[in-house]
Chain A
Amino acid sequence: MQRRLLVASGIICLILLSAITSHAQYYFGQNKIQYTRFDWQVLTTEHFNIYFYPEEKEIADAAAQLAEESYDFLQEKFNHTIEKKVPFIVYSSPVFFEQTNIIPGLLPENVAGFTEFFKQRVVIPFNGSFADFAKVVRHELVHVFTMQKIAYVAKMHRRTSVATPPLWFTEGLAEYWSDGWDSQADMFMRDMTISGRIVSVDELYSISGTFLMYKVGQSLLKHIGETYGDDKLADLFDNWWKGKTFSDNIRITYGKTLSEIGAEWEYDLKKTYYPYLQDQELPDRIADKLTRDGYNLKPAIFTRNTVDGPKEFIAFKTYRMGYSKIAEMPLEGEKSHFKTLIKGGRSEQFESLHFTESGLDANDDGMLAFASKNQESDALYIYDTDRRKIVNKIKSDSLIAISSPAWSPDGASIVIEGMTRGGRSDLYLVDIESSSFSRLTNDIYTDKNPSFSHDGQFIAFSSDRGISGRNGARNLYLYHLDSGKISGLTSGDHIDSYPQWTKDDKRIVFCSDRAGVMNLFILDRLTESSIVSHQLTNFVTGIFDPVLASSDSSVVFSAYQNFGFHIYKMDLPDSSKYDLDEPVEIADLWNAGETWKMPKLDGQLAQGSAKYKTQLSFDIAQSAVSYDALGGTMGGLQFAMTDILGNHQWYFLLYNTANTKSDFLSSVNFGATYMNKTRRVNFGAGIFHFYNEYAENYYGYVAERTYGGLLAASYPISRYRRLETSLYLRKLEKQSTISNDPARRTNATTGTMTISYIKDTSIWDPTGPIEGTRVNIGMTQSVRLKDLNYYNSTYNVDFRRYFRLGQASAYASRFMYLHSAGQDKQRYYLGGSWSLRGYPRREFYANNMLLVNNEIRFPLVNDLFIGFPFGNMRFQAIRGALFFDVGNSWETNKEMAENPDYGSKGVVGSLGFGIRASLGYVTVLRFDFSRRTDFKSVQNKYDFDFFFGWNF
């Protein structure tokens, strides 16, 4: 009986609660907000349906052309033809992409695109760069081909299950066949090899899901492709049905084990990269490393008046503790002083600091300019480093994204890289006083890293407008503020970026990968019409974000080494150390005619476009039948249907709990819910009928039938806060099957209104929240529909706060109060590992509950791998906990209050310690050792409890 209750309740909860909002099913959770309602259209080509909105038609055309080109390329690589048109959903900006309903969860910021498994929808944003877009299109199509090819081969050979490819392989293959080997990939592999920490093929699980895994996978696949031929990779897929595991398939195809191929690859890496150390250096051998922890980028120099006089400080971005920040330190480094200025991802004001994409800049007055996401679009913030507060915030109605601000020398304006709703990335000048935006460039080319000259006449910037820009090359250009003209400073099929002027405006320091990986270069403006560039550094890994300090005598930059980014400082190198390039005439470098065009869709490929029509298709369908010796049989099915964009969602549940044929009709349970997520307010409606028999502490054995309908809505105030409300109209018939007591019988038709306020700023570690706040405050009110008289009500307050003590440690507290009143009260269980520890689960049962938890969480073991006879098990994080819980549960029903089993036992508590072992995304194993207290004495012995589930 109880098992059926568990299953039935679980199903009901899942279907109803999950249908309301994707976040409500988690009781807390952060919000994905549909700020914008798009007017979707569909462009049909030979192999794709491209979903787009009118503002991004140009991008959609390019996507269609790129997709068809990639299709041809991958058809040859995979030896496979995809018959059904692939759905391709394009967003003109990462900001809009994050609003997609195709997957329910929040998308991390740096996701460049994804391929959804059920309907194999490809969803990608345009980030301003055509070359990046082309790579992502192909990358995602590799996933489509991979999934379809494996499924096809399995079906053709009558295999119901085949080996699953490891993530490093699928992502590595996607990178290999889309990216080409670039300086960034080379940088990662150089560092990994030279640091002596090559991740072998047997250890790839340890970097699963990281960016490093992508590059290591790409390197491995590149080795395999170049050594054995890409045609062999096609053979690998054709052989997929033969082996039980991925390793079997490798052996069958290549005649070697994966470990053997891995060993070849490692040897190849060493042969390739070790010789670099002959002539090149590592950053920490030449420069002073200023930061100690985390990932650190985007330094900016500002001056502060101190007691010792004016002193230079570095503001920079750092990622530590699970979120990004802007921090400051002196030029000597963070060991002498480190202060957090702004926290990103912790509040609505600074929802995302765009850690890798956007730089910082400070002017002579110590005003720091940076961009951050604030609600739907980015805002430009000015932060006073002396007063340590925000002094200005500027937004534009037409710009969805802002990045890399740079001050003008007079401090009256800031040049930014801005992105429009249509996806165009251009330079804009922001007037600080009037908060107005003037557009400087207006074209399809991406313009990045602007930097004002000190005389205020020019802006140097990096752009892909040159002839090689279509392939991702970026060179340096000058914007002439007096005329609006653009002239070239560098050229070539490589990346030049981050220009920084010297104080006399005669030279520009910049980064370039023209010599392999990113190094520091300098441009000397010999005359008005000719320049020459010199290489200043010869690091074996890469350096970025240079900024000049100490009157141009030193340079501060970020560099990659030992799997991390840190800030370094060194004296500006002598430009005569390395070979000189030949001087070039500026006029020869580039002119506005030498550029590339956005590809237009070949007329033969286009089959027309039309307005988007909502058409539902299955996402998932499951059925199950179970038999219980006590409970009897139960069987049912559930399925979900959505449209291509995920905006319209239908959930259906149907099952039967009958024990006999005569009960069949009366035991039908069904639920149907519809959710609309096209707007900021997500709303839904549903109908249901449930019948169940189960055991319950107050009613005893109960037969309960409830049926009715519901309306629900959720309004996200911000990413972190939302309001939810719902209205249920239902008939409830409930009676004890073992007692005729009228008090244990309910027959009511009620209307119930619920309203909740939820806030969640939590950050998690593998075992649960470790920083932030979670709040859920709500109430329900029910009335009898026949006379609108009060029926019952509930109130809940759940307030949780997590105070960070260290990287993996925190003090966590929870205050929870639950109360129910009126007829047919709800009663709450108290006790167990999830609530009041030291007491059995469901020890207390009453209509009032109060619980206070206090816990210190700390790390014990970071990674534990145990080999069992049946296989290996990995515990990613083993944490310890010291806790002290207090609880009380009391009953207002007189009869129950007098029952020793249910009446209040007064305020009780427990203290103890626990161990939590994370099993990845699956669950957490919980081991608690507790001693009870009634606050008069403390129990001598420890009670042990084992359970599972994440920390509160």
Chain B
Amino acid sequence: MELLKKTFSLVILGGVIAAACGCGPSAPIVLKDRPDGCLWNHSGGSPERSSYSDISFSQQPGLLWVRKFKYPLHIEPTGALGFLLISTPDNKLHVVSANNGDIYAEISFKEPVMAPVVISDSMAVLNIGGYRLMVENWVDRQQLWEADLNGAGGEPLVLGDKLIWLDGMGYLRCFDISQGKRIWDRKIDRTVSAPVSGSELGILIFPDDGVLECFDPRSGRLLWSFDTGARIRNAPVIVEDQVIFCSADGQAARVNLVSGQTVWYHDLKLPVYGPIASDGQGVYFGTNNRFIVRLDFETGDIVWKNRIAGPVKAGPALTEQMAVFTSIDFNVYFVDKASGLVKNKFKTDGMISTRPITCQNKIFVVGEDMNLYCFGLPEE
């Protein structure tokens, strides 16, 4: 089985390289199976984007290897079938082995990739320079279609065969992901900082004025709105039909995605700038004023709240036992989910402004010190 997986991976790799050379397989590969437990990097809020992975470590994971790049890494990587897609400021997207950090391919663009790559099967959705939305088959490197983003900076939302995007002109647009055909548009007349999120039950927009709106993914029709009284600038988490968000002003709430009814709402006075994560039992996040927090999923009460040395700009990644936080104080914090205690702290050489991701039973962190760090347990 292991040999088959490796062979399969090599075929994919061959396809990528061949595509870069101008030739390759004629049909895209359907990548529905995720044998390596890689977390698809969908945009914030989709059910898969809860940042929870069922990776379990029998003991404290340690540093396995480090891969140095030529430039600071400040865009969150995407894990896909044993590879990591990492973008760098020199307008390149690197396909890196999650096993050993070897760079298998580099794809060049005219402008830098501005947001984490979103993968859907063989399709990679890229924000190029903030001006172009490009959908490319990352296996055979065939560009499928592109659209004008008008200056949008964020990540898209992929729901099945739909790609939903908020462009720089304030339009929420829904495309067919494989053909790029526009399905519907809707004008959002407000400034939005948080990425689009949602599930098949609804698409969520968090404008800066705090009025949360939910739209029908099929038609773009407004389903409900809710004045959160808060500024959300990060990706909420969606667990089944529940959406939980935390605001930059310190509020946290859980809302029913179907009805828009509030389940709980707390003014925690904890400013949250980065995405949050949930495993269905707790809600985990780091704050700008140096706290790491777990809320009870059902009640929103604080289970634990502990102080760390630096502000947290990005959200945590979750495994069975741990919540892994990063901070601009150069550290990666491995925190016990039950107690909130920092079990291990790893110091890098630069600020970390992105979430860790999990792939192949490992945890990956990219830093502004130009390094890709891989944490896990040594293979026996």
Binding site for B on A (CB under 8 A): 72, 75-76, 79-81, 156-158, 228-229, 231-232, 235, 242, 252, 254-256
Given contacts A229-B248, A242-B130, contact A156 B90 (CB under 8 A): no
Taking a contact as CB atoms under 8 Å apart, the answer to whether A76 and B288 are in contact is yes
Q: Given that A157-B112, A254-B191 are contacting pairs, would A75 and B310 also be in contact in the complex, using a CB cutoff of 8 Å?
A: yes
How far in angstroms is the closest Cβ of chain A from B241?
Answer: 29
B208 near A158: Cβ-Cβ < 8 Å: no
Q: Among the listed B89, B208, B290, B313, which residue makes an inter-chain contact with A157, where contact means beta carbons less than 8 Å apart? A: B89
Q: Judging by beta carbons under 8 Å apart, are B248 and A76 in contact?
A: no
- Which residues of chain A have C-beta atoms less than 8 A from B311's C-beta? 75-76, 79
B227 CB, nearest partner CB in chain A, Å: 17
Question: Could you say which residues of chain A place their CB within 8 Å of the CB of B249?
Answer: 229
Can you identify 12 A-B contacts, CB atoms within 8 angstroms?
A76-B289, A79-B353, A81-B310, A81-B328, A81-B351, A156-B71, A156-B89, A158-B71, A158-B89, A229-B249, A231-B273, A235-B193
Q: Is B215 an interface residue (CB 8 A)?
A: no
Query: What 1/0 flags go to B310-331 for Cβ under 8 Å of A?
Result: 1101000000000000001110
Which residues in A have their C-beta under 8 angstroms from that of B271?
Answer: 231
Check: B151 CB closer than 8 A to any chain A CB: yes
Residue in B closest to A156 when the chains form the complex, CB atoms: B72
List B residues 229-274 near A (Cβ within 8 Å): 231, 233, 248-249, 271, 273
Within 8 Å of chain A (Cβ to Cβ): is B368? yes
A81-B310, A229-B233, A231-B273 given; 7 more Cβ-contact pairs under 8 Å: A81-B329, A81-B351, A158-B89, A229-B208, A229-B248, A229-B249, A231-B248
From B74, B151, B231, B313, A156 is in contact (CB under 8 Å) with: B74
Task: Tell me which residues across on chain B come within 8 A of A76, comparing CB atoms.
Answer: 288-290, 311
- The reply to whether A75 and B89 contact each other, CB–CB distance below 8 Å, is no
**Bound-complex Cα distance A521 to B289 (A):** 42
> Please, which residues of chain B bring their CB within 8 A of the CB of A228?
208
Kindly list chain A residues whose C-beta atoms are within 8 Å of the C-beta of B90.
Answer: 158
Closest Cβ–Cβ distance, residue A518 to chain B (whole Å): 33
Cβ–Cβ < 8 Å partners of B290 in chain A: 72, 76
* Contact in complex: A75, B71 (CB < 8 Å): no
CA distance A242 to B127 in the complex (A): 14
Q: How far is the CA of A228 from the CA of B231 in the complex (A)?
A: 9
Q: How far is the CB of A295 from chain B (nearest CB, A)?
A: 42
B contacts, CB < 8 Å to A? 71-72, 74, 89-90, 112, 130, 151, 191, 193, 208, 231, 233, 248-249, 271, 273, 288-290, 310-311, 313, 328-330, 351, 353, 368
**The 10 residue pairs across chains A and B that have the minimum distance between CB atoms:** A255-B191, A156-B72, A76-B311, A231-B248, A81-B328, A158-B89, A157-B89, A76-B288, A81-B351, A229-B231
A80 touching B273, Cβ below 8 Å? no
Across the interface, which residues of A come within 8 angstroms of B368, CB to CB?
156
A256 to B231, CA, bound (A): 18
Is B71 a contact partner of A81 (Cβ separation < 8 A)? no
Min CB–CB distance A803 → chain B (angstroms): 60
How many A-B pairs have beta carbons closer than 8 Å: the answer is: 51
Task: Pick from A75, A157, A231: contact of B328, CB below 8 A.
Answer: A75
Residues of chain A within 8 A of B208, CB atoms compared: 228-229
Contacts of A81 in B (CB 8 A): 310, 328-330, 351
Residues of A within 8 A of B313 (CB): 79
Residues of A within 8 A of B248 (CB): 229, 231
Chain A proximity of B309: nearest CB distance (Å): 9
> Across the interface, do B191 and A231 meet the contact criterion of CB distance under 8 Å?
no
**Residues of A close to B288: CB separation below 8 A:** 76, 79, 231
Output the nearest chain B residue to A155 by Cβ-Cβ distance.
B72
Cα–Cα distance between A232 and B351 once the two chains are bound (Å): 19
The CA-CA distance from A335 to B336 in the complex, in Å, is 79
* Chain B residues, CB < 8 A from A72: 290
Which of B74, B249, B351 gathers most chain A CB within 10 Å? Answer: B351
Measured between beta carbons, the chain A residues less than 8 angstroms from B89 are: 156-158
| Chain B min CB distance to A243 (Å) | 11
**B residues less than 8 Å from A157 (CB atoms):** 89, 112
- The closest CB in chain A to the CB of B271 belongs to A231
Which residue on B lies nearest to A232, using beta carbons?
B193
Contacts of B193 in A (CB 8 A): 232, 235
List residues of chain A with CB within 8 A of the CB of B72. 156
Residue of A nearest to B248 (CB): A231
Closest to A157 in B: B89
Is A231 in contact with B233, judged by CB distance below 8 angstroms?
A: yes
Cβ–Cβ contact A80 & B231, under 8 A: no
Shortest C-beta distance, B108 to chain A (Å), equals 14
Distance of A254 Cα from B74 Cα, bound (Å): 22
Chain A residues near B351 (CB-CB < 8 A)? 80-81
Residues of chain B with a CB closer than 8 A to A252's CB: 151
- In whole angstroms, how far apart are the Cα atoms of A254 and B273 in the complex? 16
A79 touches B74 (CB 8 A): no
Q: Which residue of chain B has the shortest Cβ distance to A255 in the bound complex?
A: B191
Residues of B within 8 A of A229 (CB): 208, 231, 233, 248-249
- Minimum CB–CB distance for A681 against chain B, Å: 47
In the complex, residue of chain A having the shortest beta-carbon distance to the beta carbon of B74? A156
Tell me the nearest residue of chain B to A72, going by C-beta.
Answer: B290
Contact call B328/A80, Cβ cutoff below 8 A: yes
What separation, in Å, do the CA atoms of A72 and B208 have in the docked complex? Answer: 26
B272 CB to nearest A CB, Å: 10
Instruction: Give, as a whole number of angstroms, the nearest-CB distance from B101 to chain A.
Output: 21
Residues of B within 8 A of A75 (CB): 310-311, 328-329
Residues of B with C-beta under 8 A to A242: 130
Q: How far is the CA of A242 from the CA of B114 in the complex (A)?
A: 11
Query: For residue A256, which residues in chain B have a CB less than 8 angstroms away from its CB?
Result: 191
In the complex, what residues of A have CB within 8 A of residue B329's CB?
75, 81
Least Cβ–Cβ distance between A154 and chain B, in angstroms:
11
A254–B168 alpha-carbon span in the complex (Å): 11
A391–B264 alpha-carbon span in the complex (Å): 78
Residue from A80, A235, A255, A256 whose CB has the most chain B CB atoms within 10 Å: A255
| A232 vs B353: C-alpha distance when bound (angstroms) | 16
* Distance, CA A368 to CA B209, complexed state (A): 60
A937 to chain B, nearest CB (A): 72
Query: In the complex the two chains form, what is the Cα distance from A232 to B193 in whole Å?
Result: 9
Q: Which residues from B are CB-within-8-Å of A79? A: 273, 288, 311, 313, 328, 353
Query: Shortest Cβ distance from B4 into chain A, in angstroms?
Result: 41
Residues in A neighbouring B231, C-beta threshold 8 A: 229, 231
CA distance A252 to B311 in the complex (A): 25
In the bound assembly, the distance between CA atoms of A158 and B88 in angstroms comes to: 10
Bound state CA distance, A252 and B131, in angstroms? 12
A595 CA to B50 CA in the complex, in Å? 51
Chain B proximity of A78: nearest CB distance (Å)? 9
Q: Which of B193, B353, B368 has the most CB atoms of chain A within a 10 A radius of its CB?
A: B193
Nearest chain B CB to A237 CB, angstrom units: 12
> What CA separation (Å) do A229 and B71 show in the bound complex?
30
Q: How far is the CA of A907 from the CA of B73 in the complex (A)?
A: 75
CB distance from A225 to the nearest CB of B (A): 12
In the assembled complex, the CB of A904 is this many whole angstroms from the nearest CB of chain B, namely: 69
Could you tell me the distance in whole angstroms from the C-beta of B345 to the nearest C-beta in chain A? 15
Q: Which residue of A lies closest to B72 (CB)?
A: A156
Q: Given the complex of chains A and B, what is the CA–CA distance between A593 and B89 in angstroms?
A: 59
Instruction: Give the residue name and chain of the A residue nearest to B272 (CB).
Output: A231
- Chain A nearest CB from B311 CB (Å) reads 5
Closest to B353 in A: A79
CB distance from A238 to the nearest CB of B (A): 9
For the complex, what is the distance from the CA of A242 to the CA of B130, rounded to whole Å? 10
CA distance A413 to B72 in the complex (A): 68
B151's closest neighbor in chain A, by CB?
A: A252
Q: Chain A's nearest CB lies how many Å from the CB of B44?
A: 16
Q: A255 to chain B: which residues have CB within 8 Å?
A: 191
Q: In the bound complex, what is the Cα–Cα distance between A76 and B248 (angstroms)? A: 12
Q: How far is the CA of A419 from the CA of B288 in the complex (A)?
A: 41
Please indicate the chain A residues that have their CB under 8 angstroms from the CB of B353 in the complex. 79
Query: Which residue from chain B places its CB closest to the CB of A252 in the assembled complex?
Result: B151
For the complex, what is the distance from the CA of A80 to the CA of B368, rounded to whole Å? 11
Q: How far is the CB of B181 from chain A (nearest CB, A)?
A: 28
Inter-chain contacts of A232 with B (CB < 8 A): 193
- In chain A, what residue has the closest Cβ to B330? A81
